[in-house]
Amino acid sequence: MRLALALLCSLAGGAQAETVVATQTIRPQQIISPDAVRMDQATISGAYVSLDDVIGQESRYVIYPGRPLMIGAVGEPALVDRNQIVELIYAHGGLRILAEGRALDRGAEGERIRVMNSDSRTVLFGTIQPDGSVLVKK
């Protein structure tokens, strides 16, 4: 029994989690490519543990080589950039109004951003749709 317990303890101690680490400087708003990250034999609380979770995502801030990619450091790539002209959609019941607007923030699909109606100069909040348009609510 003692031998089995000692064997289990040594096996458990030998297993170490891996952490995703930057191999090069990753700039803000840069899409993370496979050559920009690698797995490192370290256990860092709050860091990504899978390359699949970060490759193809967009960096939220600068990440330096050798540093772990922490949860929240990356996110979905932005569909809408600040000052981009976007289609504003207001839909309520059977009514659907389309207008042109300017994005006042940057964001990805599903995020709420501020937009300004180009005609009335009214600032509204809306949700970015998969096609890059913004669904606004009153």
Q: What is the pLDDT of residues 116-130, one digit of tens each?
A: 999 999 999 999 999
Pinpoint the residues of the chain covered by CATH 2.30.30.760. Answer: 85-136
| Tally: H helices and E strands in the chain | 1, 9
If pLDDT is split at 50, 70 and 90, which confidence band does 1 have? very low
Highest mean pLDDT, choosing among 6-10, 21-25, 40-44: 21-25
CA distance 114 to 105: 6
Global confidence as pTM: 0.69
Evaluate if residue 17 carries a pLDDT over 80.
no
| Spatial contact of 63 and 45, defined as CB atoms under 8 Å apart | no
Evaluate if residue 3 carries a pLDDT over 70.
no
Specify the fold of 85-136: SH3 type barrels. (2.30.30)
Mean of pLDDT values over 27-35 = 95
Mean of pLDDT values over 101-114 = 95
**pLDDT tens, residue by residue, 79-96:** 999 999 999 999 988 899
| Token pair belonging to 35 | 């050559």
What is the total residue count of the chain? 138
CA distance 101 to 96: 16
5 phi and psi, to 5 degrees? -65, -40
Q: Which CATH code is given to the segment(s) 16-75? A: 3.90.1210.10
Pinpoint the residues of the chain covered by CATH 3.90.1210.10. Answer: 16-75
